[in-house]
Amino acid sequence: MKIALVDDSGFSRRRVKAYLNRMFPDASFIECADGEEALQQLPGEDLEFVVLDLVMPNIDGLELLKRFKEIDFQPPVVILTANIQEIIQTECRNQGCYGFMEKPVNEEKIASMVQDLGL
């Protein structure tokens, strides 16, 4: 199982990775600090899912979703953000987002997301 973590916060990536590692000890992770890095590293990868922050430098999460859609690279994407407004959720879902987790993340939220993904 391969999981991508796209977030400009190294702390946030480490925290999510730690929770997911407990649930999936054999998982491998691709970590990206922004959308630009994700566009370079992720297309072509066989990913179980992507955890994506919305607010990042260079290419933000919403723009990355749009670009993934344009190149027909659409693994399940879960948005991890403090901005969970309905208008943002609607726009993200229109671009192919699977679901949302509100920051700050904790093990319970991660477990719920994993269950929603059917993993």
pLDDT along the chain (119 residues), means of 10: 96 96 97 96 96 93 94 93 83 91 90 90
**Domains delineated in the chain:** 2-116 (3.40.50.2300)
pLDDT of residue 103: 85
pLDDT score for 68: 95
> Quick one: pLDDT at residue 52?
97
pLDDT of residue 40: 96
Model confidence, pTM = 0.94
* The predicted structure's pLDDT at residue 28: 98
Q: 56: buried, middle or exposed (CB in 10 Å: 19+, 13-18, 0-12)?
A: buried
Residues 37, 77, 61, 12, Cα dihedral to 10° = -80
pLDDT of 70 reads 94
> Which residues lie below 8 Å from residue 30, measured CB to CB, with a gap of 6+?
2, 3, 4, 5, 41, 42, 45, 47
pLDDT at residue number 17: 97
pLDDT of residue 104: 87
From residue 61, alpha-carbon distances to 4, 10, 41, 106 in Å are 13, 16, 15, 20
pLDDT at 7 (0 to 100): 96
